[in-house]
Structure 1
Amino acid sequence: MGTTFLQRIYSARKMAGLSMDELASLSGLSKNTISRYEKGIMNPDRANLLRLAKALNLKVDYFFRKSSVELQEVAFRKMAKIASKSVESIKYRVIDRLEKYLELEEILMVDNEFVNPIGNILIQKFEDVEQSAEQVREKWNLGLNPIASIIEMLEDNFIKVLEVNEPMEFDGLSTVIDGKVPVIVANQNFPVERKRFALLHELGHLLLSFDVKITPKEIEAACNRFAGAILVPKSKLISELGVSRKKIYVQELAEIEKEWGISIQASMCRVRDLNIISKSKLSQFYFECNTKPDFKKLVDESRYSSFETSYRFKQLLYKGFAQELVSMSKASVLSDQSINGLKTNLSLV
């Protein structure tokens, strides 16, 4: 079976978040046998291959599919609270999804002509982040209006967006495949405002080029500022609130949240970034959030009525199927759906 199988059995185990002992228990095989499979010392017979597939909840053909994706420059956020085994599971599940995504695009001959619109800007200070956000809006023809769908905007500009079902501790990740295909992974369980901000934070990791003197903590702060600046341009926020304020009412920020899809907490950070309020006012805001449950509940309320969901992979799949470029069985493998499930969801016109 060669090196393909040993790579796939290892990735399948990591994807499932299983240790060798756990996989041995589920499959009825010994830990030593699984280790020998992963090292390429021994190949499984058909019976054992079926046992592994069943234990890992995978189709047998997974083990023979050539691995074509390697995540580069992965930027995880807030992963300290998540066990390393879970981090590995997320990575390998993302790889599996991306392999299918790229295979489908290859079948349909879809181009991935991504160009970084701010590749010419080096971030040396926070003011450079504002300039970068303004240039992204200009180059991507976004104008100064609210962005209805961040995911649609990203996909229109050749950035892959994957949504995963993860605990709330997982904010997201960004990476690049083969040095040319940018990918953002978002947590589908987030409220819409938090998801929009997280997507743009990861976009900052993909697009912004930092001076070597910028620390990791400063990079995170810069990506947060970039996200806020993309959501609400400086000129628009100043027009709404003025150049300087001694105090701001939550109700004012609630109206901004409804229009621009930015949370009240992110808006407060944004107005502080632009020196509309003082640092002490931002500290007071966080103090009230931490000490007054009713105030925190009001601040955390979701008010943006639009949705943030990626439909692109599904649209490509249906297109391939309609044009008879993708068979029903192939569509089943790519979408992780049963053939009956696919038939139920498809209606020809």
Structure 2
Amino acid sequence: MKKRMFVEIKPELLRNLREIFGFSKEQVAKKLQTSQTKIEQIEKGELPLTLSQLKKLAKLYRVSLALFFSESLPKLPTVPDYRLNRERKLNPEVFIAQKKAYYLARELYSLTERTSTIPYHLHQLDAIQLAKSFRKILDIELIKNKPAKEILQKYKSCIEEKMFVPVIEHPLKAEDVRAFSIHGDVCIIVLNEEDAPEVKLFSLFHEVAHLLKKTGALCSIDLEIESTEVETFCNHFAAEFLVPADDLREEISKRKLEHFDQAAVSELAGVYGVSKQVIMLRLLWLNYISRETYAEFKRRYEQLEKAAEHKKGFARRNWTEVFFNRAGGLIITEMKKAYKRGDITLSDVISSLEIKAKYAEKFVEG
């Protein structure tokens, strides 16, 4: 019988690491295939931890084994929380995404010694003027009549190129977190991988607005009027950038629209690559429809969304695309340059991006 190896770890460190990464005792117990009572005993120093269990914890928290023997605890910088229900505990996957984002931002800086270029001089403008001025800085025309996925990719690439702000995706697995941004020497935006492209598109510019206001944010991105002042500002910025009021009026006039039924709303949403709800809110804010009309639309929209969710089946995923989006185009580009220079190895790429060798090879050797 194979002899089990025990390791001596400070009990308080085990407890603090679990709490930092947002896991409950029950979740850790399940991962270690033991009981919650034993986890409590381990965290009190009443039971030893096996090497096998330690390796499972390191994998769960996505950290190195060395961290468990550190004299000091890692501290994630605080991201301002703008969720609707801030009392609700964050999903562990969000903590993991934050840790990954901070790591990738540091990695990008170490590879390039470059910092993000944020036009902070615009931060005192109102949301509408900020959106107009920001478009000029990006030097990009309004993208229309393209699939939402294509529009999203073009805007992501533009932001990464012009602002040196990586945009990555992560399966956040949280109903109350749509996206978040981190403000620092290298700013970074994280979108929810599980969202539809038109939702990611709005989330992207909502988070850009936070960065332009000199802060990061953890957001539910509720589109309703009753949002907080900051979130309302970011929503109006994103709406004006993606669906400019003047351009929307032209589209409505060109189509001679007077009544906005589902077909008309769907058509306009397709023009700009945004969700129907964003179009309805623009129509509400521009006084084309009443609040009662919007409320009725929202009720029906949510019913259709729930029905569509129930019908959703398993779809084969393009894993090359998934892992590319999780790393982000900017980070992959800079890692490829560093790899070609001989500054980093393929093993470094695999470790940094947490991907399999075949994808790492594709990204840096292709």
- Deviations 1:207-248 (CA, angstroms, capped at 9, x unpaired): 2489xxxx9623333322221111111221111114996522
The alpha carbon displacement at 1:171 in A equals 3.6
Matched with 1:140 is 138
Which of the residues 97, 100, 123 maps onto 2:100?
Answer: 97
1:266 aligns with 2:268: no
1:190 aligns with 2:195: yes
Superposition pairs of residues 54-133 of structure 1, within 5 angstroms: 54-57=56-59, 58=62, 59-61=64-66, 63=68, 70-79=76-85, 84=89, 86=91, 89-117=92-120, 119-121=122-124, 128-133=126-131
Structure 2 residues without counterparts, runs of 5 or longer: 1-9, 145-150, 216-225, 313-320
Matched with 2:243 is 232
Is the 2:159–2:165 contact (alpha carbons within 8 Å) kept by the matching residues of 1?
yes
Is the 1:27–1:52 contact (alpha carbons within 8 Å) kept by the matching residues of 2?
no
Superposition pairs of residues 125-274 of structure 1, within 5 angstroms: 128-146=126-144, 147=151, 149-156=154-161, 157-167=163-173, 169-178=175-184, 180-208=185-213, 217-242=228-253, 246-274=258-286
| Structure 1 stretch displaced more, 269-278 or 227-236 | 269-278
Opposite residue 170 of structure 2, the aligned amino acid is: V
State how far apart, in whole Å, the 2-side matches of 1:323 and 1:209 are: 34
Is the 1:174–1:185 contact (alpha carbons within 8 Å) kept by the matching residues of 2?
yes
| Structure 1 stretch displaced more, 189-198 or 199-208 | 199-208
Opposite residue 75 of structure 1, the aligned amino acid is: D
SS at match of 1:275: coil
Compared with structure 1, are the counterparts of its residues 191 and 295 closer, same or farther at alpha carbon in structure 2 (3 Å cutoff)?
closer
| Structure 1 stretch displaced more, 201-210 or 19-28 | 19-28
Opposite residue 51 of structure 1, the aligned amino acid is: Q
Is the 1:177–1:183 contact (alpha carbons within 8 Å) kept by the matching residues of 2?
yes
Matched with 1:52 is 54
Is the 2:169–2:192 contact (alpha carbons within 8 Å) kept by the matching residues of 1?
yes
State how far apart, in whole Å, the 2-side matches of 1:177 and 1:67 are: 22
Is the 2:122–2:212 contact (alpha carbons within 8 Å) kept by the matching residues of 1?
yes
State how far apart, in whole Å, the 1-side matches of 2:11 and 2:138 are: 43
Opposite residue 292 of structure 2, the aligned amino acid is: S
The alpha carbon displacement at 1:262 in A equals 1.0
Is the 2:205–2:237 contact (alpha carbons within 8 Å) kept by the matching residues of 1?
yes
Superposition pairs of residues 310-321 of structure 1, within 5 angstroms: 310-321=328-339
Matched with 2:354 is 336
The alpha carbon displacement at 1:320 in A equals 2.4
The alpha carbon displacement at 1:106 in A equals 3.4
Give the TM-score, by structure 2 length.
0.69
Matched with 1:40 is none
The alpha carbon displacement at 1:23 in A equals 5.1
Give the TM-score, by structure 1 length.
0.71
Matched with 1:41 is none
State how far apart, in whole Å, the 2-side matches of 1:182 and 1:67 are: 24
SS at match of 1:277: coil
SS at match of 1:266: helix
* Identity fraction in percent: 18
Opposite residue 194 of structure 2, the aligned amino acid is: N
Is the 1:176–1:183 contact (alpha carbons within 8 Å) kept by the matching residues of 2?
yes
Matched with 2:219 is none
State how far apart, in whole Å, the 2-side matches of 1:228 and 1:276 are: 16
Q: Which runs of 4+ in 1 moved over 6 A?
A: 4-9, 64-69, 294-297
Is the 1:172–1:184 contact (alpha carbons within 8 Å) kept by the matching residues of 2?
no
The alpha carbon displacement at 1:85 in A equals 5.1
State how far apart, in whole Å, the 2-side matches of 1:237 and 1:217 are: 26
Matched with 2:21 is 15
SS at match of 1:121: coil
The alpha carbon displacement at 1:315 in A equals 3.0
The alpha carbon displacement at 1:165 in A equals 0.8
| Structure 1 stretch displaced more, 307-316 or 195-204 | 307-316
The alpha carbon displacement at 1:131 in A equals 1.4
- Deviations 1:109-133 (CA, angstroms, capped at 9, x unpaired): 24113223553425xxxxx321121
Compared with structure 1, are the counterparts of its residues 168 and 150 closer, same or farther at alpha carbon in structure 2 (3 Å cutoff)?
farther
Compared with structure 1, are the counterparts of its residues 172 and 144 closer, same or farther at alpha carbon in structure 2 (3 Å cutoff)?
same
Structure 1 residues without counterparts, runs of 5 or longer: 38-43, 123-127, 302-306
State how far apart, in whole Å, the 2-side matches of 1:337 and 1:191 are: 23
- Deviations 1:139-189 (CA, angstroms, capped at 9, x unpaired): 2212344455332233222223231213361443434344x4433221100
